[in-house]
């Protein structure tokens, strides 16, 4: 089930009514309801992979208990590596086996050997990267004695499977979400109302911005030779906003939906296209994944300690692993390497923590310097997105080469209407850049203005919404 579907339009109110009116203040019953609803939400997509989700949940639950009960460090390590090994094993088989098999066959072919390896013909279980990382953070924290294992199987299962975050995050931590699941939750009208605003804004980002951009992007990337260089440039910009509108839109809907049930999820986006350098961009884009890699990979590797070479090496590893996390294709690895290359000068010259405040914090408009910084950061990010979107590195290089053919720059041959939606998005984001989302306007004094804005956004959805089968990050 996807958020922008009629099925979800019926599903959400039913769960909401049962949650607050039938099981009110009975936290155990509410959690059981959330678990059943989450399993239904996931099974509606493909019930055949529900067993994998349940198995992964039970594995981490029981290994967490066993680590806590272990009387020796070796026994504790056994249960820890059992959980990590099985989880990464499932992820590796479903997501990366074909990639490694085909890449190894191509490598042998370069030396004159022909090899044909058996490959899987199954689709990737939706959300496997996200719920696997939920479980991994839990068992790692128990192993490092940062948390105690959860005794309630229902509460732990809700932590892993809570339907707003199940298939595309944000990637939650047990220290943040489990305490909310365990305690009694009271209905908060103001939080719920803002949750509805956040859902509305997320739908606008997805259905109006992302899906309209996707129409142009799909055509341009499918056959770049049919378009002039300016059209390819527009296509690259549209993809930058497609993936932002798509993924940030999903995150907004997820966070807004969770707030309807009295749960606060981790923020995943903080207006990343207003970043003044690549380091700031990665503090604002897919925040839950960036901080996961920071806490569970970068810092254990040594982080910024041990000298400049160690910091450079660890930064490169983080970005390469991040690229590979997104998909089993060399395009994602190149995308990660490019972002590492872009951020490396900031790391070397210790400038990666320069822009930690909000852009134009004390003024309405950015300074000329900030405007140039934002523009350059966006261009670098957009160029890297070309590899992310392309089917192969060869295709990406061809697209990039044709885009940089400045002699072929003429009036774009593609529909430019999505620019209007992008402008609306940027206006709302800019005006609310100090807040949590682009439609956080409860502080507007006059109700008629607030409701006029809500009506405007709703009408944009109604008249300009484009259809889409799924969200981009479902494939990861």
Residue in the structure block whose two tokens are 């995308």: 335
Q: Find all residues with CB under 8 Å of 288, minimum gap 6, and list them.
A: 169, 170, 171, 172, 266, 267, 268
Distances (CA, A) of 330 to 220, 232, 327, 399: 21, 22, 9, 16
Q: Find all residues with CB under 8 Å of 94, minimum gap 6, and list them.
A: 120, 122, 124, 125, 128
Q: How many CB atoms lie within 10 A of CB 273?
A: 22
* CB of 127 closer than 8 Å to CB of 164: no
Distances (CA, A) of 172 to 90, 257, 357, 420: 20, 15, 24, 34
Q: Find all residues with CB under 8 Å of 458, minimum gap 6, and list them.
A: 200
* CB of 181 closer than 8 Å to CB of 165: no
Q: Which two tokens stand for residue 93?
A: 């088989």
* CB of 401 closer than 8 Å to CB of 225: no
Nearest to 335 by CA among 400, 277, 269: 400
Q: How far is residue 256's CA from residue 164's CA, in Å, rounded to a whole number?
A: 9
Q: Which of 134, 326, 398, 437 is catalytic?
A: 326
Is 286 part of the annotated catalytic residue set? Answer: no
Q: Would you please indicate which residues are annotated as catalytic (active-site) residues?
A: 326
């Amino acid at each position: 089930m996807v958020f922008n579907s009629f099925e979800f339009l019926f599903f959400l109110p039913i769960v909401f009514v049962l949650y607050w009116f039938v099981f009110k203040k009975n936290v155990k019953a509410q959690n059981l309801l959330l678990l059943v609803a989450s399993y239904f939400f996931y099974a509606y997509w493909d019930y055949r992979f529900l067993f994998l989700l349940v198995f992964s949940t039970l594995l981490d639950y029981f290994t967490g208990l066993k680590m806590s009960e272990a009387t020796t460090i070796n026994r504790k390590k056994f249960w820890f590596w059992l959980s990590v090994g099985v989880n990464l094993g499932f992820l590796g088989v479903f997501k990366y086996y074909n990639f490694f098999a085909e890449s190894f066959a191509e490598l042998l072919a370069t030396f004159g050997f022909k090899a044909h390896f058996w490959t899987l013909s199954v689709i990737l279980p939706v959300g496997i990267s996200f719920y696997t990382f939920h479980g991994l953070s839990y068992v790692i924290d128990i192993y490092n004695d940062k948390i105690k294992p959860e005794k309630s199987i229902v509460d732990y299962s809700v932590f892993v499977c809570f339907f707003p975050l199940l298939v595309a995050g944000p990637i939650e931590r047990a220290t943040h979400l489990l305490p909310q699941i365990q305690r009694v939750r009271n209905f908060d009208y103001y939080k719920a109302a803002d949750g509805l605003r956040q859902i509305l804004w997320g739908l606008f980002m997805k259905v109006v911005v992302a899906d309209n951009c996707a129409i142009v992007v799909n055509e341009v990337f499918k056959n770049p030779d049919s378009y002039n260089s300016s059209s390819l440039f527009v296509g690259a910009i549209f993809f930058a906003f497609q993936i932002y509108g798509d993924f940030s839109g999903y995150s907004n809907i997820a966070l807004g939906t969770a707030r309807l049930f009295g749960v606060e999820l981790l923020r995943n986006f903080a207006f990343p296209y207003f970043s003044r350098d690549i380091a700031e961009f990665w503090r604002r884009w897919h925040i839950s994944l960036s901080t996961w890699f920071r806490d569970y990979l970068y810092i254990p590797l040594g982080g910024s300690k041990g000298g400049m070479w160690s910091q450079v090496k660890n930064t490169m590893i983080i970005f390469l692993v991040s690229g590979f996390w997104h998909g089993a294709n060399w395009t994602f690895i190149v995308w990660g390497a490019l972002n590492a290359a872009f951020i490396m000068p900031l790391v070397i010259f210790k400038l990666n923590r320069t822009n930690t405040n909000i852009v134009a914090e004390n003024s309405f408009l950015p300074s000329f310097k900030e405007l140039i910084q934002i523009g350059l950061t966006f261009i670098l990010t957009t160029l890297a997105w070309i590899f992310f979107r392309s089917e192969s590195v060869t295709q990406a290089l061809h697209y990039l080469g044709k885009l940089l053919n400045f002699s072929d720059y003429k009036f774009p041959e593609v529909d430019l209407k999505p620019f209007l939606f992008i402008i609306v998005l940027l206006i709302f984001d800019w005006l609310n850049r100090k807040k949590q989302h682009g439609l956080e306007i409860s502080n507007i004094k006059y109700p008629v203005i607030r409701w006029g804005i809500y009506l405007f956004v709703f009408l944009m959805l109604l008249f300009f919404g484009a259809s889409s089968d799924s969200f981009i990050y479902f494939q990861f």
